[in-house]
Structures are given as C-alpha cells and as structure tokens.
Structure 1
Amino acid sequence: MKMKTLAVAAVLALSAASASAVNVFNLGDITASGALFASPGYASAANIDDTWIFSLTGSNNFAAQIARNFSTANGSINGFAATISGGSLVGSHALTLGSTDTSQELTYGALLGTGSYSLKVTGLSQRVNTRYTFNLDVTPVPEPETYGMLLAGMGVLAFVARRRKPV
C-alpha cells in the first residue's frame, strides 16, 4: 500500500514540477540579425516562466516587442510581464505593458552595449496552446572612429575641390 502511495506522490510531484518548469532559450549573438520567435504553447492555467538569453557586440539601439493577440478576453495572459537585465544595464528593467480588447504588448527600447542579456517573460495562460511572439530589433550605433573617417574623407574631398583650377 505504501508503494502505491509513494508512486502516486512521485507522479503528482513530477507533473506539478513540469507544469511550472522554467524554459531557458539561448539565442546567441543577435547583433547582425535581431530575433523573431514564438514561445512554446502552454496549457490552460499554466505558469509562463521563460528566459531568453542573447548577446550583443558593440553599442546598439535595441527595441523589444513581445505580443499576445487573442479573440476573447479569456485569451489574454494574466500577469503578462517581462524584464531585461545584464550587459550594460544596471539592475533589471521592466518592459511597458500596453493592452487592448484583443492584444497585449510589452515594449522596451534603449541603447545597449556589448554583453550578455537576459529577457524574462512571465504570466499565467488562460487557454490551451497559449503562445506569445517577440521581436528584438538591433541597429548598430556607429563607433567614434567611423565619424572620424567620415570627417577625414570629407576634408580630403574639400582639399581636392579647392585645388582644382577652373577651366
């Protein structure tokens, strides 16, 4: 009898652990391409606890958009939230939540430096196969050396134009 009870308890413990499992996804270096992904599907009333890890090289203008579109109110994600941390950031920064009758959107934008970053998305799904999508846009910021080369090139062009004799 005790073995049956232990077996049932073990199965229940494993199923509870899998229902609230933390998903970690490593996107690698997204400096050149950014990222566009969809989350895995979640069961109804499942905890969403995803961490998306990525890295950047150099200084970049960074914009994040995480969205959930739905047709009925019970299609939303309760407590839909996200934070970003790591790299050149000091502490964690919350993404801003915007909502309508049919969508939820988390957004963030900043100048980020070289480093590894972590984007953590949390919430509670309301329907079977709940998913969210996200888009990470990266635009490299020119280094000071780039501006120096541009100014030097313009100076050479001005010098050459000034030395030309009118015909």
Structure 2
Amino acid sequence: MKTQILKSVIATSVLTVLTVISSSAYANNVTATVTGFAYANPQTATITSATPAVNNLAVYAGGFSGTYADSTSFIAYCADISQELAPWNSAQTYTQGNLASAFSSTKAADLTTLSNKYYSLVNNAETSAAFQIATWEILYENTVNPYQVNSNGFKAFGGTGVSLAQTWLSGLHDSSFAVTGNYSIGLLQSGKYQDVVTVTPVPEPETYAMMLAGLGLMGFVARRRKS
C-alpha cells in the first residue's frame, strides 16, 4: 500500500514539474527587466558590421543581469546591434523567439557550442566581453568557418576581450577543445528594443531525479501525517 502511494505521489510530481517546464518553455510572451551589467567595469569595443550596417560603433561589451516577472534572475547578451537596449529597471514584454529561425540553424548550433565550451569560464568583465563579442561574431559574420573577429562581415577591435573571443572562436570546431558545460540558448525579441540571447544551464538528469524523489518523499510524508 505504501509503495502504491509513493508511486502515485512521484507520478503526480513528475506531471507537475513537466507541466511547469512546458508552460515556461513555450509561453509566447514574457516580461523581463534588465537591471544592469553582470560584471562591474564592463569593457568597451569598436564594432563594424556589414549587415546590419554599423561603422566603427563604440559599445560596451558584456552580459547584463535581469529578472523575469516571477523574480527569476537571468544573464543575457545583446543579439541585436541595430537597436538600443531597454532602459535599466524598466519591465518590458519580450517574445520568446527561435534562434535558428531568426538567424540560421548553423549559427544557432555554433552559439550553443560556444556556450557549452566556454560559458563556464565567464566570471568577470573580460570574459563576459569575450563571450559577447564571440556571440556577435557568430550571429553577424558572413564567413563562418573559420570565424575572424578582425575581418570580413563583422569586426571588433579594442580590449582584451576581443583577443580572448578570437581564441574561443578558434577552438569552436576543434575537438581538442573540451566541452565544459551544458547550456540552453534562448532568444528574447522586442519590436522596440534590442533582442537578447539568454544562456541557461541545463540540469543534469540526476538533478531532476533527485528533485522528483524529494517531491515524492515530501508528498508521502505529508500524506502519512494526514492519515
């Protein structure tokens, strides 16, 4: 009888968690607020792009922090160099986009590889700048193999983050550069402000198993106390 109750509780917990994940992953619109740069003293760089047309534009390069309407925090990177970023601390409605549709399946795959190989190394203004510049290079470069941040359709100059970005991009399709993490890449699109890329760690299967087991045991204890 106890085994049957435990199985029932775990099954219910699994359904609940999957429902939450599903509704979160496939909601069309989300409310998000950019709160500031992820790391103090962000680096600057000068960028040039053929499409969209940008010529020697001085920009801050690096990720920025934000929160969703449910207070969940995130770190995002600029995916659009033709619009201004939403003002700090102003809640905005974004549409959850598809990176492959907005750019291409190759660029989406390369950005995922960049994240899985190097995002775990992002821990300060320099590495954050490198990730941002490498992201721009992948999204806006017209020559994708190899990526070169100082030539072709997209170019970036200035700051140590640029040289580090090139190092990471050089190892993008090199199997000797190990994968160090597992990340999901999202795209938040806005008609008024800059589109942004979000990088979210993907929990390991055992993490889900432990979470579900914990929920199941909590439900079992609560049911037993009630009885």
TM-score (norm 2): 0.24
Q: Which has the higher helix share?
A: 2
Q: Which has the higher strand share?
A: 1
Structure having greater relative contact order (Cα 8 Å, sep ≥ 6): 1
Bigger Rg, which one = 1
